[in-house]
Chain A
Amino acid sequence: MKLPLFIEPYANLAKGHNPKQQILLIFKQLGLPIIGLLVFLMLWSGAAKNIETSLGNFPGPIEVYQQFNNLLDEHQAEKERAQAFYERQEARIAARLEVDPDFVPTIRPYTGAPTFIDQIKTSLFTVFTAFVIGSLIAIPIGILIGMSDGLYRAVNPVIQLFKPVSPLAWLPLVTLVVSALYVSESPMFQTAFIVSAITVLLSSIWSTIINTAVGVATASKDLLNVSKVLNLNPWTHVTKILIPSAIPMIFTGLRISLGIAWMVLIAAEMLSQSPGLGKFIWDQFQNGSSESMSRIMVAVLVIGFIGFLLDRLMLVLQKFVSWDKSAVLR
């Protein structure tokens, strides 16, 4: 069995194969990234001390770490409060039912302020919704325009025109259109959620469309001939020949799209005041307390880390879907 690359040197070291080389390898794999991070933290804390703002010193790594813990504690406290709220309510309803068996209880939801963790969850939910719906639209369009040179030429100018548009340009239009069209008595989703989801979708689908189209268009001529000789019907042609050929390009597109989606989402939330990490940052900025900067910095780091995780997630998905298990994906 072949070991994952990053474990190999340890196994070899344990077996005593050429220890000097193994240690060098481990240093390269593990040591260098750690040194890089440490240098970054040192530069950060050094620079932070010398940046004076209206809210005090720029936060260094230690302050940020403390705030991160504070935010977690606040979330915990808030959860306990909600728990207590529901327990009180249940007790009250039970007491009432004893006296009056016909009483129809209504459970009122807890309305505390969303915590940092809640905002993360909201953002993730929004980005996933937008990304999944966007991909479901973008991949079929990409396949269609990849299959026909004429259609590609016709659609390409439109795509090229919209691809570079900043989400912030879309936002006001989307807000106006959504508030005009999405009126219902008991909306299933908040308008703000829909606005940010649509904005994210509009800014992120283009690279999936283009990459899918290119992947389909560059499917091997021989395989297309096979399909013709076998008289495959359009559905089989697409699912057995075109999509598998285009899988690597589709995933390249999806990864770019998801990266853009995540970046755009934060901006959209900030500007449209829709719940999520963007709003968290904006609220902290408006708040202007001495903790604000550290909290924003926590958000910045968390956003970066989640973006990184999302990309890894796509990579795992690609490895799972890809037929060529030997291909090196990074």
Chain B
Amino acid sequence: MDAYLELTDVEIAFPTPTVPFVAIQNINLKISKGEFISLIGHSGCGKSTVLNIVAGLYQATKGGVILEGKEVNAPGPERAVVFQNHSLLPWLTAYQNVELAVKQVMKNSSKAEIKDWIEHNLKLVHMDHAMHKRPDEISGGMKQRVGIARALSMQPKVLLMDEPFGALDALTRAHLQDSLMEIQHELNNTVIMITHDVDEAVLLSDRIVMMTNGPAATIGEIEEINLPRPRNRVVLTEDAQYNHYRQQVLSFLYEKQAKTEL
């Protein structure tokens, strides 16, 4: 089977006044359509860098990314990004933020169609009750929901999420994870999500990609998560298989790639 999204031998070297700084190296990954991938690794190893290359915001200095047979070399709405700090435009309401994205991808649609689609996406993330509020009038979790709605509304081929729930409290986070699983079940998006949270990775992913420490970070191990869906977080805590996966990831992070210098 041909991969839907393929990263081949990706390397990036950031220019510095002296020698270029090689942040990531030898990244090879094949992702099939509808797959949910988590990227996990210690802070500063280069997770965001990988995501930004797939998004087209950074250019790989070696190797490259191919999506549906086409090389990626610029950002575009078919690779929507959910940023860590929501990145909503503070001067626009939730509705207008989503509208900005929708207008980019539905250029030939009627006003009514556009309106319906915006409202549909806000409903999907349970934000239809606060559509006309600005980001500073809603909570952190709600902002993140709007960010997700904005990304989903573009019907991207790949959804890229950089620690989407990182800044949220545990309860809100669990809530959003459940929402995300629901949406994923419905839409079957191809997703790459960065996370620091081992439970989140195991709960949501089809595969967990674990990165070694930088500089020149690369993929250390890949863990395939064969848990049946829909998954229930409460039931899973008792599940031997689930705990085995957790243990695998934890051992990679804290034994094999333990951060010694901290």
B219 in contact (CB, < 8 A):
no
B89 and A229 contacting across the interface, CB-CB below 8 Å: no
Which residues of the other chain, B, contact A231 by a CB distance below 8 angstroms? 75-77, 104
A244 and B91 contacting across the interface, CB-CB below 8 Å: yes
B104 and A226 contacting across the interface, CB-CB below 8 Å: no
> Which residues of B line the A interface, CB within 8 A?
55-57, 75-77, 79-81, 83, 85, 87, 89-92, 100-101, 104, 134, 136, 154
Which residues of the other chain, A, contact B83 by a CB distance below 8 angstroms? 222, 225-226
Least CB separation from B151: chain A residue: A229
A244 and B89 contacting across the interface, CB-CB below 8 Å: yes
Out of B55, B92, B134, name the residue touching A229 (CB < 8 Å). B55
Which residues of the other chain, A, contact B87 by a CB distance below 8 angstroms? 220, 222-223, 225-226
A323 in contact (CB, < 8 A):
yes
Q: Distance in Å from the Cβ of A43 to the closest Cβ of chain B? A: 47
* Cα-based distance from A241 to B56 in the complex (angstroms): 20
Q: Distance in Å from the Cβ of A149 to the closest Cβ of chain B? A: 15
B89 and A226 contacting across the interface, CB-CB below 8 Å: yes
* 13 contacting pairs across A/B (C-beta < 8 A): A225-B75, A225-B87, A228-B56, A228-B57, A229-B75, A229-B79, A229-B81, A231-B76, A231-B104, A240-B89, A240-B100, A323-B91, A324-B90
* Cα-based distance from A229 to B89 in the complex (angstroms): 14
* Known contacts A228-B75, A229-B77, A229-B80; A222/B85 CB under 8 A: yes
Q: Distance in Å from the Cβ of B155 to the closest Cβ of chain A? A: 13
Which residues of the other chain, B, contact A223 by a CB distance below 8 angstroms? 87, 89
* Cα-based distance from A236 to B101 in the complex (angstroms): 11
Prevailing SS type, chain A contact patch:
helix
* Cα-based distance from A86 to B134 in the complex (angstroms): 58
A326 in contact (CB, < 8 A):
yes
B101 and A230 contacting across the interface, CB-CB below 8 Å: yes
Q: Distance in Å from the Cβ of A56 to the closest Cβ of chain B? A: 59
Most interface-central of A226, A228, A240, A241 (chain B CB within 10 A): A226
* Cα-based distance from A113 to B60 in the complex (angstroms): 75
Per-position contact with B for A266-293: 1 when CB-CB < 8 Å, else 0? 0000000000000000000000000000
Out of B55, B79, B104, B136, name the residue touching A324 (CB < 8 Å). B136
> Which residues of A line the B interface, CB within 8 A?
220, 222-223, 225-226, 228-232, 236, 240-241, 244, 323-324, 326
Q: Distance in Å from the Cβ of A112 to the closest Cβ of chain B? A: 51
Which residues of the other chain, B, contact A229 by a CB distance below 8 angstroms? 55, 57, 75-77, 79-81
Which residues of the other chain, B, contact A324 by a CB distance below 8 angstroms? 90-91, 136
Q: What 6 A-B pairs have minimum CB-CB distances, sorted nearest first? A: A323-B91, A222-B87, A228-B75, A244-B91, A229-B75, A229-B81
Which residues of the other chain, B, contact A326 by a CB distance below 8 angstroms? 136
Which residues of the other chain, B, contact A236 by a CB distance below 8 angstroms? 100
Least CB separation from B88: chain A residue: A226
Which residues of the other chain, B, contact A244 by a CB distance below 8 angstroms? 89, 91
A225 and B57 contacting across the interface, CB-CB below 8 Å: yes
Q: Distance in Å from the Cβ of B148 to the closest Cβ of chain A? A: 14
* Cα-based distance from A220 to B90 in the complex (angstroms): 11
Least CB separation from A228: chain B residue: B75
B104 and A232 contacting across the interface, CB-CB below 8 Å: yes
Which residues of the other chain, A, contact B101 by a CB distance below 8 angstroms? 230
* Cα-based distance from A324 to B134 in the complex (angstroms): 10
Which residues of the other chain, A, contact B75 by a CB distance below 8 angstroms? 225, 228-229, 231
Q: Distance in Å from the Cβ of B185 to the closest Cβ of chain A? A: 25
Q: Distance in Å from the Cβ of A166 to the closest Cβ of chain B? A: 39
Which residues of the other chain, A, contact B136 by a CB distance below 8 angstroms? 324, 326
* Cα-based distance from A323 to B133 in the complex (angstroms): 12
Which residues of the other chain, A, contact B154 by a CB distance below 8 angstroms? 230
* Cα-based distance from A262 to B80 in the complex (angstroms): 49
A241 and B81 contacting across the interface, CB-CB below 8 Å: no
Least CB separation from A244: chain B residue: B91
* Cα-based distance from A265 to B246 in the complex (angstroms): 73
Which residues of the other chain, A, contact B80 by a CB distance below 8 angstroms? 229
Q: Distance in Å from the Cβ of A75 to the closest Cβ of chain B? A: 45
B90 and A323 contacting across the interface, CB-CB below 8 Å: yes
Least CB separation from B101: chain A residue: A230
* Cα-based distance from A229 to B57 in the complex (angstroms): 8
* Cα-based distance from A63 to B81 in the complex (angstroms): 71
Least CB separation from B156: chain A residue: A229
Least CB separation from B103: chain A residue: A236
Which residues of the other chain, A, contact B76 by a CB distance below 8 angstroms? 229, 231
* Cα-based distance from A292 to B155 in the complex (angstroms): 76
Q: Distance in Å from the Cβ of A296 to the closest Cβ of chain B? A: 47
